[in-house]
């Protein structure tokens, strides 16, 4: 499956679930979510103060770790985990590359994860997109970045996989501006490895943070500025990586 020359941006979820009710989401999630006020449980909790704090942290230190559990609709983390687990099991995820289009290189010494792009068509994806839309608007109001859109993919790292130190966008390209990685793993212990190591934006050899990829945790950073690395995982590691971009149409990274 990974032997094909496949610079694929795959969209494996075909069911349009947008109009489904909270009940369906809850059913998909199992019994993790109780009934009750449906509109409330699907709401994102993005308030002005929180956005102020995010914007301050990004402009002051270029990166931050944050727990999104209480900011996302109830059950969403479990629903996303459910989706990515199914995609992974059904071989719907592709070996990730470096670069894009004709420049895509699959170098396993640099990066070993598998990815599947999100389209926002399933209910969990639509809910996540609505959250990302609110974040984009809030950050634009505060940081004047002119973020036009975002893109997001699931990523799976099997035990042994890693992603060596890199930045997410070439300087001056103004394509990817802010990166957000949301983790989906329950009970991630120290022995499971797979931390995100964040390096100083002034000195790429100086580690400044280590983020355990525990469910609900997220990291945000300036895509061009902050070098980072995924340390070798010792257990399957699931996440969603998102990028807010300044370009209207896809340009090379
Ligand atoms: C990436 C990346 C970090 C992570 O996909 O570019 O750096 O913690 N991901 O998964
Ligand atoms: Mn990265």
pLDDT at residue 33 in the model: 41
The closest ligand to the CA of 113 turns out to be 1
Cα(238) to ligand 2 centroid in Å equals 14
Q: What is the DSSP string of 183-252?
A: E-BTT--GGGB-PEEEE-SS-TTSEEEEE--BTTEEEEEETTT--EEEPPBSS-EEEEEEEEES-SS---
Q: Which residues pair with 117 in a beta bridge?
A: 153
Question: What is the distance of C-alpha 241 from the center of its chain?
Answer: 2
pLDDT at residue 67 in the model: 97
Atom of ligand 1 nearest to the CA of 239: 10
pLDDT at residue 39 in the model: 54
pLDDT at residue 103 in the model: 67
Structure tokens at 59: 């402009």
Angle between helix 123-143 and helix 22-29 axes, rounded to 10 deg: 110
The candidate with the shortest Cα–Cα distance to 118, out of 68, 147, 83, is 83
Please, are residues 129 and 151 in contact by the beta-carbon 8 Å criterion?
A: no
Q: Which residues pair with 145 in a beta bridge?
A: none
Please, are residues 147 and 140 in contact by the beta-carbon 8 Å criterion?
A: yes
- The single-letter DSSP state of residue 122 is S
Q: Which CATH number fits domain 19-245: 2.60.120.620, 1.10.10.10, 1.10.760.10, 3.30.450.40?
A: 2.60.120.620
Query: How much is the pTM?
Result: 0.83
Local confidence pLDDT in tens for the 253 residues of the chain: 333 333 333 333 323 233 333 333 334 433 344 444 445 678 889 999 999 999 999 999 999 999 999 999 999 999 999 999 999 999 899 988 777 666 677 778 899 999 999 999 999 999 999 999 999 999 999 999 999 999 999 999 999 999 999 999 877 666 899 999 999 999 999 999 999 999 999 999 999 999 999 999 999 999 999 999 999 999 999 999 999 999 887 665 5
> Could you give the strand order of the β-sheet that contains 149-157, starting from the edge strand earlier in sequence?
63-67, 217-222, 176-183, 237-245, 149-157, 114-117, 94-95
Cα(193) to ligand 1 centroid in Å equals 14
Q: Which residues pair with 35 in a beta bridge?
A: none
Cα(242) to ligand 1 centroid in Å equals 9
Structure tokens at 44: 């994102």
For 99, other C-beta atoms within 10 Å of its C-beta total 14
Q: What is the DSSP string of 168-183?
A: SS-TT--SEEEEEEEE
Q: Which residues pair with 193 in a beta bridge?
A: 233
Ligand 1 site: residues with CB under 6 angstroms?
155, 163, 168, 181, 196, 228, 230, 239, 241
Structure tokens at 171: 């300087």
Cα(83) to ligand 1 centroid in Å equals 19
Backbone angles phi, psi at 105, to 5 degrees: -125, 135
Pairing of β 237-245 and β 217-222:
unpaired
Please, are residues 185 and 213 in contact by the beta-carbon 8 Å criterion?
A: yes
pLDDT at residue 28 in the model: 40
pLDDT at residue 174 in the model: 66
pLDDT at residue 15 in the model: 30
The candidate with the shortest Cα–Cα distance to 20, out of 79, 92, 87, 84, is 79
Question: What is the distance of C-alpha 18 from the center of its chain?
Answer: 20
pLDDT at residue 25 in the model: 39
Q: How far apart are CA 227 and CA 171, in angstroms?
A: 12
Question: What is the distance of C-alpha 122 from the center of its chain?
Answer: 16
């Amino acid at each position: 499956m990974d032997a094909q020359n496949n610079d694929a941006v795959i969209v494996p979820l075909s069911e349009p679930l947008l109009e489904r009710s909270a009940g369906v989401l809850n059913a998909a999630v199992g019994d993790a979510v109780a009934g009750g006020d449906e509109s409330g449980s699907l709401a994102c909790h993005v308030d002005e103060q929180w956005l102020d704090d995010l914007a301050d942290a990004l402009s002051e230190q270029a990166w931050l770790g944050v727990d999104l559990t209480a900011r996302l609709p109830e059950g969403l983390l479990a629903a996303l985990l459910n989706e990515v687990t199914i995609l992974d099991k059904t071989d719907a995820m592709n070996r990730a590359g470096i670069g894009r289009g004709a420049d895509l290189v699959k170098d396993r010494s640099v990066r070993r994860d598998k990815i599947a792009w999100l389209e926002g068509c399933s209910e969990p994806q639509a809910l996540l997109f609505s959250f990302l839309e609110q974040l984009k608007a809030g950050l634009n109001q505060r940081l004047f970045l002119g973020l036009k859109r975002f893109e997001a993919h699931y990523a799976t790292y099997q035990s042994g996989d890693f992603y060596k130190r890199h930045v997410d966008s070439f300087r001056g390209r103004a394509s990817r501006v802010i990166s957000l990685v949301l983790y989906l793993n329950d009970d991630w212990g120290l022995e499971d490895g797979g931390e995100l190591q964040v390096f100083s934006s002034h000195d790429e050899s100086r580690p400044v943070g280590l983020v355990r990829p525990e469910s609900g945790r997220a990291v945000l950073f300036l895509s061009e500025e902050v070098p980072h690395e995924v340390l070798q995982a010792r257990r399957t590691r699931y996440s969603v990586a998102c990028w807010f971009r300044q370009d209207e149409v896809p340009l090379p990274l």
